[in-house]
Amino acid sequence: MRDWKQRAFVELAVACAVTLFLFALRPVSAACARHSFWKPIAALGTVSYSLYLVHPFNLNVVGMIINKAAPAAPLAVKLPAMVALQILIAAVFWYWCERPFLNRQSSSATPKAHSMPLPQTGAASG
């Protein structure tokens, strides 16, 4: 009985430590986002939901493709290749299936702040 309580406490402590670490790093977030090393991470974040959706259906297919392409390769080579192929499939899925439904507002549909005058109130300004 005590084992699960101790494990829960350790997990909560780790979660709190990670949260505090992320709070401490918040001021440098914008600077990290401007760096070129962040672009692949942001791209992976963009297709992450598509990866979540398609990966269970492609596990066997990706495994067969990698095993046929490199049957004698060690697992240390096959695993990254399988992950890369899953990400490629997710990116294609995102481009053709998810991206067309994203809510994007075109610049011509955005109202201009000066295009419509504000209604005047009864009090005189000025």
Q: State pTM to two decimals.
A: 0.65
Q: How far apart are CA 87 and CA 83, in angstroms?
A: 6
How confident is the model at residue 42, as a pLDDT?
92
CB 78 within 8 A of CB 67: yes
Hey, CA dihedral for 117, 118, 120, 125, is it positive or negative?
A: negative
At which residue do the structure tokens 């005058």 appear?
Answer: 117
User: For the segment 6-51, what is each residue's pLDDT rounded down to a tens digit?
Assistant: 999 999 999 999 999 999 999 998 888 888 999 999 999 999 999 9
User: For the segment 42-77, what is each residue's pLDDT rounded down to a tens digit?
Assistant: 999 999 999 999 999 999 999 999 999 999 999 999
**Contacts of residue 62, Cβ cutoff 8 Å, sequence gap at least 6:** 82, 85, 86, 89
Closest CA to 44 of 95, 1, 91, 8: 91
Estimate to the nearest angstrom the gap between the alpha carbon of 76 and the chain centroid: 25
